[in-house]
Structure formats: C-alpha cells, structure tokens
Chain A
Amino acid sequence: MKNNKIDHIISLSNDLRWQMGDEFHDSLAEGIYADAAEIVKASVHKKDEKGAFRLDAKIDKIITSRVWGFPLMFLILAMVLWLTIVGANYPSAMLSGILLDTIHPALKAMASSIGMPWWLDGFLIDGVYLAVAWVIAVMLPPMAIFFPLFTLLEDFGYLPRVAFNLDHLFKLSGAHGKQALTMSMGFGCNAAGIVATRIIDSPRERLIAIITNNFSLCNGRWPTQILIATIFVGALVPASYSGVLSLAAVIGIAVLGMIFMFLVSWGLSRTVLKGEVSTFNLELPPYRPPRFWKTIYTSIIDRTLIVLWRAIVFAAPAGAVIWLISNIFIGDVSVAAWLIDSLDGFGFLLGLNGVILVAYIVAIPANEIVIPTILMLTVLVTGITAGSGAGVMFELDSVSATGDILRAGGWTLLTAINLMLFSLLHNPCSTTIYTIYKETKSVKWTVVASVLPVIMGFVVTFLVAQVWRLIA
C-alpha cells in the first residue's frame, strides 16, 4: 500500500518534471534570488556610497592584475623567505649552543661516570639524542617564523588571490584551480598540503593535486636549499651580493618546483588521468586585519609544535640507524662505507656522490636530517678530523667550515646544484607517503606519487651532469 503510493509519487514527479521542462532549475534559482533581493531591500541600508569595499577592490586590482600579480607574489615569497632565513640564524645558533655544545658533552660525561658501555652510550647519546637535538636546533626557529608568517598571510586573505593568479596556469595544465591553495599549504608541509586537497571535488583533479604536491618545497627542505645555496652559489660573487644571489637561487628552485608541478599535472591529465577541467567559484574574501598575537599563538601551538614533534619522532630512529651503519662492520669496512662505495658510481652519473644517495636513503623519515647525515658520512669517508667520531651527527659553527668539509669530500658547484635539484625532486618523506595512502586508499597511486619524483630526480640530475661535463 505504502510502496504503491511512493511509486505513485515518483511517477507523478517524473510526469511533472517532463511538463515543466528545462527551465525548472533556473526559475527556482531566480525565484530564490528575487526573494533574497526583496528581503535585503527591506532590512539592509547603506549609509553612504563610499565604503571599505572600494579599498578592497583597489587592493585586488593591483594584487590580481596581469602585470603586477606575479611579481608581487614572488616579492612576498622572497620577503617571507628572507625573514625566515635571516631571523632563524640567531635562535638556531643559540639552540645549538645549548643542545649540542652544552648538554651533549654533559650527557657524555654522565654516561662515562656511570660506566655505560661504549655502544649503548654511542647509540643513545650520539645517535638518538644528537639527531633529535639537531632537528630541534635547525628546524624549530625557521618553522616558528615561517608558519606564523604564512598564517598571517592566510588570515589577511592573500591565499585565494594566489589561487586566482595561478588559476589560468592550472587550467592550462588540466588541473583544478584550487590546487594553488594546496600547493601553498605544501610549502609548509606536504602532508598538510595533501590533506588540504579534500577541497577539490573531482577525484581526478584531486589525485593530480596529491601526486604533484611533493613539488612544493617543504619546510624540511628549505634549510637544505638555503645552506647549499649560501655555500656554493653565493660564493660565486663578491660577498656583498652573495646574499641576494643565494636567495635568488633558492627562489629559482622553488619556482622550478612549480614549473614541474604544472608539467607533471599536464602530463597526467593528458595520459592516465584524462578528463575535463571542472569549473568552480572562487570567492575572493574581503581583506581582514589578522589578529596578530592570536595567530602567532595558534600557529605555533597547532602547526609548529605538531610538525616538530613528528620530525623528532622520525629523527630519533634515523639517528640510531646512522650510528649503527657507521659502527657495524662487515669484514673491515663499516656498512655505511660499503654502501657509499657501492653507490658512488651511480652517484657520479647523476653529478652527485655515494654519500648523498646514502643520506637520502637514511633520511626517508625526515628530510631535515639530510645535511647532517651528509656531513657525518663525508667525514667518515674522507677521514678528515672534524666532528666527534664515527656515526656522530654534528653541526659546524660556521657555514664556511661546512663548505670546507664538503669540498674535501669532492664537492663542486655541479654537486651543489644537483643536490638542490635532487632535494626538490625525490620521494616524499615517510609521513607524506603514509598520508597519501590514507587519502587515496590506493597502493597504486601511493607508489606512483612516491616513485615518480625520484625517477624525475634521476633523469634531471643525470642530464644536468652530462651537459655540465660536456661544457666545462
């Protein structure tokens, strides 16, 4: 009885829909807007015609203009980076003074006074503790500056304007315009950027956004870029220009990452992820003065500390692994030395070396520890006396001392440039890989997203190395 009635209702609705024809949806929408207009007319009054709307529109005209949009975007990016690089130096030096120069020797002294065996002392204090201390000293200050600055820009309303500026390029590459937003989040942390892709409705475009998010240089990779650019690229010009040139090199790599993002999106949307670009409305919100202290507080508590904690959790075991492979011997060579030796040939082809490749394997859990691992392994291989012994991570007080060690390890400008390229183009860290799996629920796409960038990294560094060697 009831079922009959429901069937009747459904067939009635089908008939009525047929009778009304196509205008139904439009008439309904028009009706709603007409109601809205009447209601607003009765209750909303504008006191005078000049209002803050005009100011917003004026700012938008400049920020999203064809001429000024892109330069302003790069200028703002450069300013945020510059503040992060310069501002992080002092707290970084202070933290490493405390954690590495004061607490570490104290722990060592304590360990020997209670008669801890050398391998346990090495494993815990030189391995686990030092890795954690390094990550805190190197990562915390730039994050504590970068994240709040980024959040302030976000609160101010700049992000949707970036999306507006980049929309055209994303559309050309067959991707969703909102990918600009997830790309920006990726500049902080790729895992966060990948979670943010949920704002993209179409599964196809969302997959593209997930796979290509890794091309946003993340927080763990900025310090590597900055350090290497300062040592090798900045040194090419007189000291007074070196800061500008290294900043330009870092921004160059970041922009190159964006170019790769467009190219790969384009490639994917032409091949395995074919489909139409979906349209969407992007509302440019009004500019809102950020609530400065509240933003600083929440971005430090909610973002910085969470990301830092994650890095510590992953760095601790990585530190242990580094110490172990340097201190476990097969015959008369350590595992680390053996690995480096066997990867050296392949590394040379890529314009890199065995040390760098081993470091990237060890550092899969956290990109942040790539540089300390490289330094430690370089010292191990070259046998120069610096640092504190086999498998012990360390930070050198001056950038130039770091440069000396790397040059002793056979580094050239080509090695530096290719390291910067490889840092941009390699597999995402393990947290990001796990996040990709959680979001896509697909082993296949997780593997694609993880392996594709490494292959690209191999190809690009190989080509650069061959061309470089031909010319030079």
Chain B
Amino acid sequence: MEVKPKSACETCAQFNADGLKKLGVNTSDFDFVVALAGNPNTGKSTVFNAMTGLRQHTGNWPGKTVTRAEGAFEYNNEKFKLVDLPGTYSLLSTSEDEEVARNFILFGKPSVTVIVADASRLERNLNLVLQILEITNNAVLCLNLMDEAERNNLDIDTRTLARDLGIPVVPTSARYNRGIPELIQTISELANGKIVCKPHRIKNIPKNIEQALEKLSAEIKQVYPDIPNSRWIALRLLEGDRNIIETLKTGEFV
C-alpha cells in the first residue's frame, strides 16, 4: 500500500480541528480512555469542559470536583472517553480522593493520562507529575493557566521541560480555549502510538533505597513481565501499602 506523504498542513492541530466533535456525556463505544489528573485548582474541570463541551461546575477553590466526572469527544473518527479525576497533591498518602485518582491511573489503564499543572506554580505541581510518571508511560503535561504565568512574568521553556520530563508538554489557557486543539492532537498521537514517551524516573533517591527498589522491581518483573510500572509497585510495597499487596496477589493491574 502506498503511503502518501503528509503535507505540513495535515499535521497541524488547527487543520485537524474540524475533525473534533464534542460528545458531552455520551461515552458509549469509545476507542481510548483518557484520564485527567492534576493538583487541585489547576483548572482540570475547565480543560475537561473545553474538550467535551460539558458544563461541569468550576470554581476557584481546591476541592471543587469531588467525584469522578466522565465525558467524551471524537477526533478524526476516533472516540475518546475523558475521565476528570479529583485533584490531588500527591499519590503517596491515603485519603479517599487520592485513592480514586491513584487507583484509576494504576488500574483503570487509561490509554493516555493528561496531567494538568499550574504553569505559575510548576515546581510544586511537579511533585505529582513525577509520581504519575512513575506509574504510566503514556502521559502529556497540560501546562495550564499560561495566561497567569505570563502575568507573573514567568518564561517557561516548554521544549526543555518536555525533554527533561520525557513527555510532550502543551501550554494552554483553558479558560480562553487556548492550546486545547494542540492538546487534543497530542492526546490522539499518544493514543495511536505516534508519539512514544520516555518518562522521567525519580533520580535523587539515596543509594540504599534505589538498590532496594531495583531488587524488588526485578522480582516483580519476573512474575509480571508486561507491566510498565514495576518500580512504582516496588515503591508502594516498601511503603507498606496494603491495597497494593492485595492487588499484587490477585494480579489486577495486569
């Protein structure tokens, strides 16, 4: 079969924007599941609304979204189901909203995880980003609230950031719909394997912990050769997470 070379236009997010259909709550027969994670009050729900055409309540306070919201969009004849997770600062503690987010990323097996981060508070947000990157291989950083970062005179080099994190980075201002077409294009490319991530793994860990992690992770890989996040599971085992011990026995995450 002959493969036509693509014109520059066809690879552009704006060109493909007419292939976008916002499907609202109609989440039947989807091709891909996309999870939306991030710190509280970074505009996850606004990003969610911009992509699905839904009107989830948004508000300027952490904790606005208390349950999992689902919506869908269609892009170039592929259906994406979007799951808006409650905002969390970390996946390392045991409160209930974190449980929802952590379990979904680990066991819900989303095709793509969109991590929404506040561009003007990037360092604090990276805590969660780096944890999620331990769990999943397919992620994109949605650098939201770029308008605020600009107002705060912050200059963010998204290319360097993408290289350091090993995942695509898309700057957005979801409130004004800026960057959303690019984000959708990136999600689609990730889902279809056109972009392959090489996510950052936490480096600054004391040697003894690193060795323990490697030892455990190697053992886990022997039993479950196909899982991408043996290191995360090792981390949780060292933490003594009962949930993980249970699922390790049942093999639920495979």
Contacts and interface: CB of A to CB of B under 8 A. Distances in A.
Interface string B125-166: 011011100000000000000001001111111101100110
Given A42-B160, A154-B60, A154-B61, A13 B237 contact: yes
Contacts of B157: 42-45
A283 B200 contact: no
A203 B238 CA distance: 28
B248 A9 contact: yes
A151 B209 CA distance: 48
Interface residues of A, number: 66
Contacts of A24: 209, 238-239
Interface residues of B, number: 64
Is chain A's binding surface mostly helix, strand, loop or mixed?
helix
Nearest to B250: A6
A40 B123 contact: yes
Contacts, number: 178
B212 interface: yes
A272 interface: no
A322 B161 CA distance: 68
B71 interface: no
Interface string A154-172: 1111011001000000000
A32 interface: yes
A6 B55 contact: no
Given A32-B202, A181-B61, A283 B40 contact: yes
Given A52-B152, A160-B62, A20 B165 contact: no
19 contacts: A16-B212, A16-B215, A16-B216, A24-B239, A28-B209, A36-B126, A39-B164, A40-B122, A44-B155, A45-B154, A45-B155, A47-B153, A51-B153, A52-B153, A53-B152, A155-B60, A201-B96, A285-B41, A288-B60
Interface of B: 40-41, 55, 57-63, 66-67, 89, 92, 95-97, 120, 122-124, 126-127, 129-131, 148, 151-158, 160-161, 164-165, 175, 200, 202-206, 208-209, 212, 215-216, 219-220, 222-223, 234-235, 237-240, 245, 248-249
Given A9-B248, A155-B60, A285-B62, 11 more contacts: A5-B222, A28-B235, A31-B204, A32-B130, A35-B200, A45-B156, A46-B155, A51-B153, A159-B60, A195-B66, A283-B62
Interface pairs A-B: 7 shortest CB-CB: A36-B126, A198-B66, A34-B204, A199-B63, A13-B237, A43-B161, A31-B204
